[in-house]
Amino acid sequence: MNEDAIRTEVRAWLEANWDSSLSLVEWRSRLVDSGWGMPEWPRAWYGRDFSSAQARVVQQELAKVGAVGVARTGIRLLAAATLLEHGSDAHKTKFLRPILTGADTWCQLFSEPGSGSDLAGATTRADFKDERWIVNGQKLWTTSAHHADWGLLLARTDWDAPKHEGLSFFVIDMHQPGVTVQPLKQMNGHASFNQVFFSDAVVDPEHLVGKLGNGWAVAMTTLAHERRGADGMRSGAADVGTAASRTGRVHDEERKEIETVMAPYTWYPQRAGRVDLAVPRAKETGRIDDPTVQQELAKLLILSSSAEWTARRARATQQLGKPQGPEGSLGKLAASHVARAAARVHTLIACAEALLSGVDGAEHGVIAEILLSVPAVSIAGGTDEIQRNIIAERVLQMPKEPRFDTGPFRDIPRNTQ
Amino acid sequence: MRFHFTDEQTQFRDTLRRFLQTVSPTTAVRRAMVTESGYDAAVWKRMAHELGLNGLVIPEQYGGAGFGLVELCIAMEEMGRSLLCAPFLGSSVLATYMIRLAATDDQKQRMLPALAAGESIAALAFAERNGGFDASSISTLAARVGDRYVLTGEKFYVLDGMSADALLVVARIGVSDGLSLFLVRPDAKGLTRRALEVIDPTRKLAGITFDRVDAELIGDADTAAPALERTLDLGNIALANEMVGGAARLLEDTLAYTKMRVQFGRAIASFQAVKHRCAEMLLSVELAKSAAYFAAEAVDEGRADVDYLSSLAKACASETYLQTAIDAIQLHGGIGFTFDQDTHLWFKRAKSSEVLFGDATWHRRRMMQRLPAKEVA
């Protein structure tokens, strides 16, 4: 289908169907069933087998009339992508539509207190008893678990198999007595994540995704989509501005949806160091005349600009369809350096005010929030140490270290809780 | 901004790399660096005749190739990789840009074609013993005698000053606030020059004293300061690109060594302490490359913040090159501190490049003085 044909057809459909007085779920149901909500998905599952270029055309037409798109917040699209690739037809029939309409919310139950960087060392167990899976254990850093309907669960089903081969992937119903969700308060005072406790929680046998013992491969699919930025964190943030300016029931409900999801993450920009505040604050406070401030500020600008240009180089290479150079693997590590340098500069600029937070603090506490949030950057989404391993082994082709986690999982040394 | 090299530019890079692998292996570097002139005249001629490198940024009307700074910087990066010993930065970059920016058309006609053909080498003498590379403290004096001038004073840190047959000297006419540019022949009466003892034998510097030396005014009197500043901006960007080439090479050689070197029954490249250092080296080198590439492209795109970007790129490259060299020696262990092993050749170039035309601290201060109203990137 060429671009003009797509535009004509989408316009005609929107003319007949787009109505901002509908409820959010009502509207999205129409959109999803029409195949215009996720045109890059397969025809059999709410899509049209479109290329990403064709899908962009559809997106543009929706944006022109201000039509709300499918639900994207949270990890729901990671769940959808995982189920599309590994789920059975029954899974797809049951889960995909409410994911896209926003009727159901999802969370990802991978990290544990005992396995952070070493995700495959999960010890949450699923045992098959009386024709059901019984789950026991604890998950951590779970976004949205407190309002999630379903969870993507990575659990150990075979303790005698090697580490990566004893894991299975399930969809678990979060609304049941065996699942307890508690907020996890962070050092910066926010509670953006949860810990989830499983005590004889139950999973229907048909909610196993992929084959028994193949959970690691399924989880890798989820993580690959997360790395590609398919989660709703960024797109959600971008949508806030658009949604704010529009009226009608569907927009009101979308705004509420985004606000609910984004509320725990107001500190994310601060986590990255807020380089944008450095020069303006140095000027406002007059600290820019201090030679030490100048030096540190210049170091920060060099770091943040060169990191941005490195990312642009990576994008340009990608767009040309050329083989990716090392510049594509460095963004995460560069971001850690930038955030730390920014925290240092903000401290220098603030002087004694760096002692204060909240209403007494510089920029009404934003600077304090930077100082207390930056330590997360070099941990979340893969620690700096893991990033350096990845760069060394995959980019620089350096040999792996000897491993001590082969053989039956039962015999591998692990954390005692 | 494109953020990538064109296919033609990549071909140019490949051609150059092959050429430099032939003419500038470290055996050739070691031969050239112990000579007073510091370069191989036969290679210099081949650079001009076979590749047109010497006149890369000389306009075609003056016998050059008429390329922009991006192409020049590709050449610089490759020369930095191979540690080429040649008066390229002094003559084909600094002196060439200074002539382009300051000289009259007639003077360009007289000087540039010879530079492009590899028949002449020019050096830009601006730094002095007291003020270093800070142009504002230039005190060499020019006095008018008829339609010519005589120069008195001393120039120091003159890059490729010993090999040059044309010296472009920046001086003040009387007590003028402005700077003027003069052409002086090194064999002129009253001129003495000597090779300075340097820490980096691959980059030669001269000290030159002038005692009422006959000189020709280049361009207009008292107007050379902006041309000098622009020349140094372009020179710093070129140097930054040379530096990232050297740093990338150091990283590659170090990686190869760590993969080969066995201790405790395993290649040392398998130790995390080594891997993590290498990962940080790669990050640092790629960031410095991005800054150096961006600054070069900014010049060819005619951006107004070249002064800021030039200092940014040079400060970034200075820290990166030296740190990469320090890490390279560290990861080579004891052998890295020996004269026979090659790492110290790049270490010395890293050190001299760090200081040449202002160190990182100096350029960071200048960056903040030239901070654009609207920040880049």
Q: What is the DSSP string of A137-175?
A: EEEEEETTGGG-SEEEEEEE--SSSBGGGSEEEEEEESS
Report which DSSP code applies to A105.
-
B286 touches A at CB < 8 Å = yes
Count CA atoms closer than 13 A to A306's CA, side-chain side: 33
Which chain B residue shows the shortest CA-CA distance from A279?
Answer: B375
Q: For testing the chain B interface, which of A277, A396, A397, A404 should be mutated: the one with the most B CBs within 10 Å? A: A396
Say what the pLDDT of residue A242 is: 57
Amino acid at A28: R
User: How far apart are the CA of A359 and the nearest CA of chain B, in angstroms?
Assistant: 29
Which chain A residue shows the shortest CA-CA distance from B256?
Answer: A398
CA distance B236 to B35: 26
Q: Which pair of tokens denotes residue A77?
A: 């699209």
Q: Out of B270, B279, B290, name the one closest to residue A401 (CB).
A: B270
Question: At residue A163, does pLDDT exceed 80?
Answer: yes
Count CA atoms closer than 13 A to B109's CA, side-chain side: 3
CA distance B340 to B332: 13
Q: Which pair of tokens denotes residue B255?
A: 């990686």
CA distance A308 to B118: 40
B65 three-class SS: coil
Number of other residues whose CB lies within 10 A of the CB of residue B224 = 28
Q: Which pair of tokens denotes residue A163?
A: 């580490």
CA distance B4 to A315: 10
The CA-based dihedral angle spanning residues B119, B124, B129, B130, taken in that order and rounded to the nearest 10 degrees? 180
Q: Are B181 and B217 in contact (CB under 8 A)?
A: yes
Say what the pLDDT of residue A322 is: 82
B-chain residues within 8 Å CB-CB of A387?
279
Note which residues in 111-170 of chain A have CB less than 8 A from chain B. Answer: none
Q: Which residue has the higher pLDDT, A320 or B117?
A: B117
Average pLDDT score over residue span A44-55: 94
Angle, in degrees to the nearest 10, between helices A291-319 and A278-285: 160
Average pLDDT score over residue span A289-301: 98
CA distance A355 to A360: 9
Q: Quote the distance between the C-alpha of residue A28 and its chain's center.
A: 22
CA distance B20 to B30: 15
CA distance B275 to B254: 11
User: How far apart are the CA of A401 and the nearest CA of chain B, in angstroms?
Assistant: 5
Note which residues in 235-294 of chain A have CB less than 8 A from chain B. Answer: 279, 288, 291, 294
Inter-chain touch B276–A299, beta carbons under 8 Å? no
User: How far apart are the CA of A355 and the nearest CA of chain B, in angstroms?
Assistant: 27
% of chain A with per-residue pLDDT over 90: 82
Say what the pLDDT of residue A239 is: 47
Average pLDDT score over residue span B195-203: 97
Number of other residues whose CB lies within 10 A of the CB of residue A320 = 12
- Lowest average pLDDT, out of A112-116, B124-128, B247-251, goes to A112-116
Average pLDDT score over residue span B82-103: 98
Question: At residue A384, does pLDDT exceed 90?
Answer: yes
- If we measure between CA atoms, which residue out of A171, A170, A167 comes closest to residue A214? A167
Amino acid at A144: S
Q: Out of A279, A305, A389, name the one closest to residue B312 (CB).
A: A305
| CA-based radius of gyration for chain A | 24
B-chain residues within 8 Å CB-CB of A275?
none
For chain A, what's the residue count? 417
Average pLDDT score over residue span A293-299: 98
Residue A171 forms beta bridges with which residues? Answer: A152
Work out the pLDDT band at A382, boundaries 50, 70, 90.
Answer: confident
Inter-chain touch A399–B316, beta carbons under 8 Å? no
CA distance B347 to B331: 13
Work out the pLDDT band at A232, boundaries 50, 70, 90.
Answer: very low
Work out the pLDDT band at A360, boundaries 50, 70, 90.
Answer: very high
Tell me the pLDDT of chain A averaged across its residues.
92
% of chain B with per-residue pLDDT over 90: 95
Q: Are B342 and B310 in contact (CB under 8 A)?
A: no
A-chain residues within 8 Å CB-CB of B361?
295
Q: Which pair of tokens denotes residue B214?
A: 């006959």
Report which DSSP code applies to A397.
-
- If we measure between CA atoms, which residue out of B202, B208, B199, B210 comes closest to residue B141? B210
Q: Out of B3, B288, B375, name the one closest to residue A306 (CB).
A: B288
Say what the pLDDT of residue B173 is: 96
Q: Out of B255, B275, B368, name the one closest to residue A297 (CB).
A: B368
> ipTM score here?
0.96
Say what the pLDDT of residue A227 is: 75
Average pLDDT score over residue span A253-265: 88
Note which residues in 140-179 of chain B have CB less than 8 A from chain A. Answer: none
Question: Any alpha helices (H) in chain B, and if so which ranges?
Answer: 7-23, 26-33, 41-51, 69-82, 96-102, 105-116, 224-260, 272-300, 306-332, 343-355, 360-369
Average pLDDT score over residue span B104-110: 98
Identify the residue whose tokens are 């920046």.
B170
Enclosing H/E stretch for A179: strand A179-184
Note which residues in 346-365 of chain B have CB less than 8 A from chain A. Answer: 361, 364-365
Work out the pLDDT band at A250, boundaries 50, 70, 90.
Answer: very high
DSSP E strands, B89-197:
122-125, 141-145, 148-159, 166-173, 180-184, 191-195
- Residue A376 sits at φ, ψ, to 5 deg, of -75, -30
A396 touches B at CB < 8 Å = yes
Say what the pLDDT of residue A328 is: 67
CA distance B284 to A330: 10
Note which residues in 289-308 of chain A have CB less than 8 A from chain B. Answer: 291, 294-295, 297-299, 301-308
Burial environment of residue B113 by CB neighbours within 10 A (0 to 12, 13 to 18, 19 or more)? middle
Inter-chain touch B278–A315, beta carbons under 8 Å? no
Burial environment of residue A359 by CB neighbours within 10 A (0 to 12, 13 to 18, 19 or more)? exposed
CA distance A81 to A96: 9
DSSP secondary structure of A28-60: HHHHHHHT-SSTTS-TTTT-----HHHHHHHHH
Number of other residues whose CB lies within 10 A of the CB of residue B34 = 8
Alpha carbon distances (Å) from A343 to A162, A339, A348, A376, B129: 43, 6, 9, 12, 40
Pairing state of beta strands B166-173 and B122-125? parallel
Q: Are A387 and A333 in contact (CB under 8 A)?
A: yes
Work out the pLDDT band at A233, boundaries 50, 70, 90.
Answer: very low
**Tens-place pLDDT, residues B348-364:** 999 999 999 999 999 99
Q: Which pair of tokens denotes residue A160?
A: 């005698």
Question: At residue A319, does pLDDT exceed 70?
Answer: yes
Alpha carbon distances (Å) from B220 to A398, B153, B223: 58, 21, 6
Work out the pLDDT band at A417, boundaries 50, 70, 90.
Answer: low
B194 touches A at CB < 8 Å = no
Work out the pLDDT band at A260, boundaries 50, 70, 90.
Answer: confident
**Tens-place pLDDT, residues A95-142:** 999 999 999 999 999 999 999 889 999 999 999 999 999 999 999 999
Q: Are A123 and A79 in contact (CB under 8 A)?
A: no
Q: Which pair of tokens denotes residue B350?
A: 């890293």
CA distance A125 to A133: 9
Question: At residue B75, does pLDDT exceed 90?
Answer: yes
Q: Which pair of tokens denotes residue B114?
A: 């010879």
Alpha carbon distances (Å) from A370 to A285, A325, A341: 18, 32, 11
Q: Are B213 and B151 in contact (CB under 8 A)?
A: yes
Note which residues in 331-390 of chain A have CB less than 8 A from chain B. Answer: 333-334, 337, 385, 387-389
Pairing state of beta strands B141-145 and A208-209? unpaired
B314 touches A at CB < 8 Å = no
Work out whether the CA dihedral B353, B355, B360, B363 comes out positive or negative.
negative
Question: At residue A357, does pLDDT exceed 70?
Answer: yes
Q: Out of B271, B291, B365, name the one closest to residue A309 (CB).
A: B291
User: How far apart are the CA of A223 and the nearest CA of chain B, in angstroms?
Assistant: 23
Say what the pLDDT of residue A415 is: 85
Amino acid at A41: W
B-chain residues within 8 Å CB-CB of A307?
287, 290
**Tens-place pLDDT, residues B27-47:** 999 999 999 889 999 999 999
Say what the pLDDT of residue A246 is: 80
CA distance B189 to B181: 19
Work out the pLDDT band at A254, boundaries 50, 70, 90.
Answer: very high
B-chain residues within 8 Å CB-CB of A309?
3, 290-291, 293-294, 377
Work out the pLDDT band at A86, boundaries 50, 70, 90.
Answer: very high
